[in-house]
Structures are given as structure tokens and as C-alpha cells.
Structure 1
Amino acid sequence: MSGEAERTVCVTGASGYIASWLVKHLLQRGYTVKASVRDPNNPKKTEHLLALDGAKERLHLFKADLLEEGSFDSLVNGCEGVFHTASPVAFNVTDPQAGVVDPAVKGTLNILRSCVKASSVKRVVITSSMAAVFFSGKPLTADVVLDETCFSDPAFCEKSEVHIYANFLLHTISCSGAQKNLDPIVPIWVDVRDTVNAHILAFENPSASGRHCLVASTISCSEVVKILRELFPHFNIPENGDEPFVSSCCKVSKEKAESLVLNYTPVEVSLKDTVESLRAKNFLSV
């Protein structure tokens, strides 16, 4: 790419786990990054970003309201690509519609409207969720491959946990935005509720990098236990564990991610690096 405008991208929700790694890798590749955060003056949300190599010269933090139409106009203007990762994370909310669904859905629509206005924007990438494709109600047999074209059952999602419903709605929006080369990407589950520790893990643990956040297939709890027992035979790991709703019988397609030049890391490598890093940081005492 050539030209300053072509080397400028936007990342929404930049203080989050996935977005933080996006910002880091984009800066490493020489991009100027215009990043939105809820509060640019909150050091707990921004210090890990401001400490990145290249941040002083090419990282610009902005405050933008997901529910305010037009608040992202200036942010995306002049950007070649937009990575939309911002999404509300709220637990035990009294009004799920207002607290989670509206900011997620209306916020995404507001950002897409801003992208449509900006002639510079060539591509929009939205982080979708496994929750948006996993709960179809169909048997997840060995011949089933889940990808960005799959959809969970809307009735199930609406009756389920509010974040599942919000993610389903976002995925529906993502798959209807071809006018701006919109790319929904389905990642694995990321549930990091402690912001400070999330940032420590993201930037001090090599296994937590974006390349390790991608897996080519689902994996069960028993398989994780088996791998950990083989990697660390001296650990006191139980023989059996409760199986979560994720089954190892189906697969998650990596085609879309690979088309965006994202590489996968074997689960064994990721688990090994993670455990070793957690031990080195005294987060795990075994």
C-alpha cells in the first residue's frame, strides 16, 4: 500500500482483548491506528496501548459513543480498513435490551453508516462469535463444519443468555453488509472479565497473541485435560472432567481467517505456552 491515508485503519473497542492485539500488530506493520475507547483518560484502559512500540507516533485514541449516530464519522474518515470489535460486556443487567442488545446492534449499525459515508473505507471486519453459529439445534456430527455462513436458531438465542442473542443479531448484520466488503470473522470464545489481568496476559504471554486465539476445530474439556496431562505429567490433573457444551465432533472452518492472512497455532503449543507463562507470572502455582 502507498500513501498515508491508505496506511490508516480504525479499531473500535481498542482496549479489549482481541482489539489490543490488533492494535499491536497493526502498529508493528507500520499502520497509523485510530482507536476508539470508552474513556481515553482512564489509564487502566489505555496504558497497555500507549506503551506499544509505535504508539507515540501512530496511535490516536478517541472517545466515541456506540449509540450516538455519527460519532464515528470522523474516526473512520480517511481509514482504509475498519476493525469493529467494540461490544458491550455487562453481567446481571436490569435491562438487557438497553444494556447489551441496543449498544451491540445499534452501535454496529451506526459504525456501518459511518463507513458507508467514508469513501476511503475499503473493508470492514467484524468479530462475530461462536454463539452466533453454534446453536442451530442440529446434531454437530463429524461431517459438520461451522463457518461464517452458519446461523444459530434465532428463537433459541432470544430465549437464551442476552449476550448470545446480541451476538446472533450482530452476525446477521455482518452477513448482510457486502456493500462495504464486510467480513464477519467467527473466533473462539473469549471470556476475560478482569481487564488488568487480561492486558497482562495479552502483552506478556506469547501464547495469548492473536495467532493463538484461532483454532481450527472445537475441542472438548476431556481433550484439553488429556493434552495437559501429556505435556505436564507431574501436574495433579483429574482423570475426568465435566464436558462442556462444546463437542470435539464438529469443526470450525479456518478458510475466512486464512484468507485474511491469519495463521493458526496447534492447540498443544498454545496450551503449553499458556501454562508456562502463567507459572512464570505466578498466576498458577503447581
Structure 2
Amino acid sequence: MEFVDSKKTGKEVAVKGPVCVTGASGYLASWLVKRLLSSGYHVIGTVRDPGNCRKVEHLWKLEGAQERLQLVKANLMEEGSFDYAIMGCVGVFHTASPVTGVSDDPKGKVLDPAINGTLNVLRSCKKNPTLERVVITSSSAAVRIRKDAIDPNIHLDEFSWSNVDVDFCQRFKVWYSLSKTLAERAAWEFAKENKIDLVTVLPSFIVGPSLPTDLSPTASDILALLRGESVKFSWYGRMGYVDIDDVARSHILVFEDPSAEGRYLCSSSVLDSHELASFLAKRYPYLPIPKRFEIPVGNALYYEFNTSKLCNLGFKFKGMEEMFDDCIASLKEQGHIPY
């Protein structure tokens, strides 16, 4: 096993990998890179422009980055774009995904990048003879969005799939859910046909500190809520929440555990928007948390998540208090909200 000296700690670190992380500068991917580096992995991160200092500078500040991080240019919509980054890796973590939100061209800007981008990454994986496992970041949105009623006595689990279609998405603007559902289904079909060892992680709404300077849409929505805006979370309705570090750790767990297989829901707590607002208002009374939300009928379905599959691997989730404490502390430090 190879050992290198960490420039920051002076300690020897056993090097693992190499592994590839797609979309490495993103909100979740940055935390995954951080966790992988701290665990001793050599990480090859793909980004659209490695020379864009503003977009990648936070990655180079991570402990171990100078010794064990390499950034490579790749584009989701270019077939073969990931060949160089993936070749020789023992593992691939595909986290890259199109930006969420309302789009005037959902097929071109949301669906195609998600589905074809995932397949492009897997095509590069197929060419790599040293590959051991691929972990893809899906979403609880591929489980919980339903046109029909959900039995409140049966918790949603890894056997559940969102049954969305284009008409439903057009009505409720849930293109992200459709993109994640179709992309994950396409990934499973490709992996089966090409004998790729695939595991997917399905996180709920991710909460936590943002390493990138520019806030992601997810982090921006949380900031807006803490500043008193209610529009986004009115649309969200009932939602699962999970700590960003938990999501990163769960990816590494299912990659390293040889018994891991299939899909893994990753969520700590499920709350209605009213419950979330009440919790936040009591814990952070100095913030102008909204007191009321107008929830669309289609977003008010009751559900719970069964995350026992991940917990059976020995995983433990952080609670709402810790995840929001860390998130708010980070937003204060970055000057987004007052102390």
C-alpha cells in the first residue's frame, strides 16, 4: 500500500483508489470529495472548466487536495468526455446533475442532460477494466412523487418508484423528479446489460454547509426560507431532510461495503413545511421564519421513508438540530445571514 505525507498534518496517509467524482465542484460532490480525501483516497474530479478558479478554489483548499486531487474537464452531453477521468479508477461516484428549477425547455435542459449524461458516464465506465463499483446519486424524488394516494401505513422504501409522466410534470413543475426517475432507470438497465456493479443512493432534501462560494439552488432555497420567504417550501410541501455529510458518508459506505447492492434511501426526518417552520422558529427565534405556507394539493401527500436498508449497514443519521445548526453557522460565517 502506498503512503504519502499530508502537508497540513505531517502524518502519513494510506492512499486508496483512485476514484472519480463527476461534477466535483457541486454542493454535494464537494463534500464527497472532502470525505474521500480525508479517508485517504486519490480523487479525480470532473468539472466543466478546471481553470475557473472561482468555481474550483474551494476544492484546492481541502485537506489532502494538493497531494491527492486531480481535476479533469468533462461535459455530461459529450460522449467519451469522461473516458480519461474514469480510465484506471477502481470506483466512480456520479453526482453531476442538471440544475433544478422551472425551465422553458425541460427536455433539453433537464431531462436529456440527466439521462444522456448518466449513460455517457456509464459508457466510459464500461471501457475501464479496473472498475470495481459505480455509485450514482439519484434522489428520493425518484421514489416519492406519485399521481395516486400513498398508503400512510406503508413507508416508502427502495422498491418504490415515482410514477410521474410528462403531463403530471407539466402541471406541477416536477421535471427534476422525472429526470431523476428516468436517469436512474436507464442506469439500472445499462448496468444490467453490461455487467457493471452499480449502487444508487437516493438522498432527500440536503441540508448543510456549502463549500462552494456560490450557493447551489438547494442551499439558496434554505437561505430564502431563513430570510422569511415561503414560495419554494410551499411548493415542496412534505419533504425528507438529510445532512450533507451523511449523504457523502453514505456514498463511501455503499462503495466500500461488498454486501451493498441496489438502491439506498438516505433521509433523516420527514416533515411538512408547517412542521419545519415551527421547528426552525423555535430553535432560531431571531430569524424571520415564515409562519404559513400555501401547499398545492398535489404536494400535500402524506408519506414516510423506510431507511432501514442503509441503517442495516451500520449507518446512523444526524438529527434535524445538528444539520440545521451546521448549515446556519456556515451561512452566518459566509455573511448570508446576520449573527
TM over 0.5: yes
Deviations 1:180-234 (A, max 9, x none): 22111111135999963438x8xxxxx9642278533321112112222332356
Contact 1:28 1:53 in 2 (8 A): yes
Moved more, 5-14 or 120-129: 5-14
Separation (CA, whole Å) in 1 of partners of 2:87 and 2:15: 9
1:131 and 1:168, CA in 2 relative to 1: closer, same or farther beyond 3 A?
A: same
Of 213, 237, 250, the match for 1:196: 213
Secondary structure of the residue aligned to 1:46 is helix
> Which runs of 5 or more structure 2 residues have no equivalent in the other structure?
3-13, 220-241, 249-265
Aligned twin of 1:204: none
Of 179, 182, 187, the match for 1:166: 179
Contact 2:20 2:43 in 1 (8 A): yes
Separation (CA, whole Å) in 1 of partners of 2:47 and 2:150: 38
Deviations 1:66-122 (A, max 9, x none): 222222222112211110011222656554323332222111111112112212111
Aligned twin of 1:271: 324
Aligned twin of 2:229: none
Separation (CA, whole Å) in 2 of partners of 1:197 and 1:259: 36
TM-score by length of 1: 0.82
Secondary structure of the residue aligned to 2:31 is helix
Residue 21 of structure 2 is aligned to residue 11 of structure 1: yes
Aligned residues: 279
Aligned residues: CA RMSD: 3.3
> Which runs of 5 or more structure 1 residues have no equivalent in the other structure?
202-206
- Residue 168 (structure 1) shift: 1.7
1:56 and 1:143, CA in 2 relative to 1: closer, same or farther beyond 3 A?
A: same
Matches within 5 A, 1:107-186: 107-155=117-165, 159=170, 160-176=173-189, 177-178=191-192, 179-186=195-202
Separation (CA, whole Å) in 2 of partners of 1:21 and 1:236: 29
Which contiguous aligned blocks of 4+ residues in structure 1 show a shift greater than 6 angstroms? 191-194
Deviations 1:233-257 (A, max 9, x none): 5656555444476669422232454
1:280 and 1:60, CA in 2 relative to 1: closer, same or farther beyond 3 A?
A: closer
- Partner amino acid for 2:178? Y
Aligned twin of 1:219: 271
Calculate percent identity across the aligned residue pairs: 36
Separation (CA, whole Å) in 1 of partners of 2:281 and 2:140: 27
- Residue 276 (structure 1) shift: 3.9
**Which of the pair is proportionally richer in strand?**
2
Aligned twin of 1:106: 116
- Partner amino acid for 2:181? F
Separation (CA, whole Å) in 2 of partners of 1:75 and 1:260: 30
Secondary structure of the residue aligned to 1:198 is coil
TM-score by length of 2: 0.71
Contact 1:218 1:246 in 2 (8 A): no
- Partner amino acid for 2:246? R
1:174 and 1:150, CA in 2 relative to 1: closer, same or farther beyond 3 A?
A: farther
Contact 1:222 1:241 in 2 (8 A): yes
Separation (CA, whole Å) in 2 of partners of 1:21 and 1:103: 22
Contact 2:269 2:319 in 1 (8 A): no
Separation (CA, whole Å) in 1 of partners of 2:111 and 2:19: 26
Separation (CA, whole Å) in 2 of partners of 1:147 and 1:208: 19
Deviations 1:106-162 (A, max 9, x none): 111111121122121111111112222112223234323223332111425554443
